[in-house]
């Protein structure tokens, strides 16, 4: 996906006035967009997907599906029509590139194993080659596919020669990524016979498993149930996907919303996040509760055509807090980056698995926060930030350059902190290196931030 070049490094221009309750629209969810594209391609009809995210990750899913022979028509900036192939891809051989998109790699690889025949090579970026794939590739090998590694076992690049997924009981290790289990479950609806998947240990990010199950049901998978733990899943009648409608609406990205939920804490005032679903498919909507734990007030506003989340921070944090981010781990960076402004220690736990994502996110946040003069206690599964405002001000006076590790969430999280006018002169004190990495999930992030900043000035003119 080609984006307009962005200044690198990018100075973050602070807000000099508080927000005056603007309405901010974030794009569609990456996780839902990629699941919807794949599920729509497996149906036997044409499906219009609305609210589709346009980003690097979604670009790779679109490219992979097209290389597999799926016809996808572009009909609007945020909409496509996917012409389903009934679970069997027209192309029997393909060389598939997934870039840095773990969602694409794991979900698509699972479905490749359901094909009755073929030869498919899957590869990704250098960073993606380091990310764990063993759980889903082991499942494919156990269920009948031939799996050959061209490099390190359990990682990309890999060649898959499928013969369809045999039914039966499978034990799966999805401890390193919930996407492994999601990919297996999506493939399971196309298995040749009933299927039971039992987890070895636990998985992370249960809300993403719930998202997968609910979307599979929406696209017509039958007789799918999770047992009570949930450590076991059964598909008793794997008959593919039989979507009953001709369109599907993708929710706005709750993870992207998290950055703007904390913006009023940083710059003052209030804002509204458009079309926010607290009880939708995305577990990261629970970040609204995190905001309340650190002094925020949130409430839903019914506009008649949508439901918006209004956020303000009338209170400062009065006591230390400890928050388990395991279910919503993509958002721990959002809070960690602004923790220097909270004045009380913050303990973020349940984040060990984020060390194997786009970057070692725990280490990345610890390193950059120390640049800001903060006291950091780092363990394998946690990060404790002891705020030091005088040190933050001293760092601002000399200027801070944030390394992003080619990780979009590091870039966006620290950019929110950079909106604080610490020098009280409206001049940038922080710059973000490689800001273009945000194109992975939110290409327009800095443009949205600029528009919000400009609205604080325009409202007073």
Catalytic residues: 330
CB 369 within 8 A of CB 382: no
DSSP 284: G
> What residues does 385 pair with on adjacent strands?
346, 376
Q: Return all residues near 42 (Cβ < 8 A) that are at least 6 apart.
A: 84, 85, 86, 87, 111, 190, 219, 240, 241
Render 237-270 in DSSP notation, one character per residue: S-------SSEEEPPB-HHHHHHHHSHHHHH-EE
Measure the CA–CA gap between 358 and 85, rounded to whole angstroms.
32
Measure the CA–CA gap between 138 and 142, rounded to whole angstroms.
6
Q: How far is CA 20 from CA 15, 382, 457, in A?
A: 12, 35, 10
Measure the CA–CA gap between 314 and 337, rounded to whole angstroms.
20
Q: 129-159 in b/e burial notation, b at 16+ Cβ within 10 A? A: bebbbebbbbbbeebbbebeeeeeebbbbbe
């Amino acid at each position: 996906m080609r984006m307009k070049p962005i200044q690198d490094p990018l100075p973050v221009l602070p807000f000099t006035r508080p927000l005056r309750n603007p309405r901010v629209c974030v794009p569609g969810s990456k996780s839902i967009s990629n699941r919807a594209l794949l599920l729509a391609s497996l149906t036997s009809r044409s499906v219009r997907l609305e609210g589709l995210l346009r980003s690097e990750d979604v670009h790779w899913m679109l490219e992979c599906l097209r290389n597999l022979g799926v016809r996808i028509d572009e009909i609007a900036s945020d909409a496509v029509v996917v012409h389903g192939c009934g679970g069997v891809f027209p192309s029997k051989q393909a060389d598939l590139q997934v870039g840095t998109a773990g969602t694409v790699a794991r979900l698509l690889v699972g479905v490749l194993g359901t094909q009755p025949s073929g030869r498919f090579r899957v590869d990704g970026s250098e960073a993606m080659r380091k990310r764990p794939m063993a759980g889903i590739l082991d499942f494919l090998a156990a269920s009948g596919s031939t799996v050959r590694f061209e490099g390190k076992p359990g990682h990309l690049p890999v060649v898959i020669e499928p013969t369809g997924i045999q039914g039966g009981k499978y034990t799966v290790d999805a401890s390193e990524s919930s996407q492994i289990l999601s990919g297996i479950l999506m493939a399971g609806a196309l298995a040749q016979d009933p299927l039971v998947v039992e987890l070895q240990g636990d998985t992370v990010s249960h809300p993403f498993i719930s998202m997968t199950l609910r979307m599979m049901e929406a696209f017509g998978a039958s007789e799918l149930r999770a047992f009570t733990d949930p450590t076991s899943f059964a598909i008793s009648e794997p008959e593919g996907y039989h979507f009953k409608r001709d369109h599907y609406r993708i929710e706005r990205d709750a993870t992207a919303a998290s950055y703007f939920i904390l913006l009023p804490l940083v710059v003052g005032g209030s804002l509204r996040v458009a079309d926010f679903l607290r009880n939708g498919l995305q577990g990261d909507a629970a970040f609204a509760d995190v905001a309340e734990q650190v002094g925020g007030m949130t409430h839903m506003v019914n506009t008649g055509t949508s439901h918006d989340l209004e956020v303000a921070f009338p209170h400062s944090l009065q006591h230390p807090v400890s928050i388990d981010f395991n279910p919503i781990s993509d958002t721990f960076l959002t809070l960690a980056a602004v923790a220097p402004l909270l004045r009380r220690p913050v303990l973020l736990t349940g984040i060990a698995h984020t060390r194997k994502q786009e970057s070692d996110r725990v280490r990345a946040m610890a390193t950059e926060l120390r640049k800001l003069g903060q006291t950091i206690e780092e363990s394998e599964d946690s990060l404790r930030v002891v705020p030091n405002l005088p040190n933050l001000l001293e760092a601002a006076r000399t200027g801070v350059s944030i390394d992003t590790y080619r990780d979009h969430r590091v870039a966006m999280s620290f950019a929110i902190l950079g909106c604080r006018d610490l020098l009280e002169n409206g001049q940038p004190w922080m710059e973000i290196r490689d800001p273009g990495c945000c194109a992975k999930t939110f290409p327009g992030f800095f443009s949205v931030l600029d528009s919000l900043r400009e609205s604080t000035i325009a409202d007073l003119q």
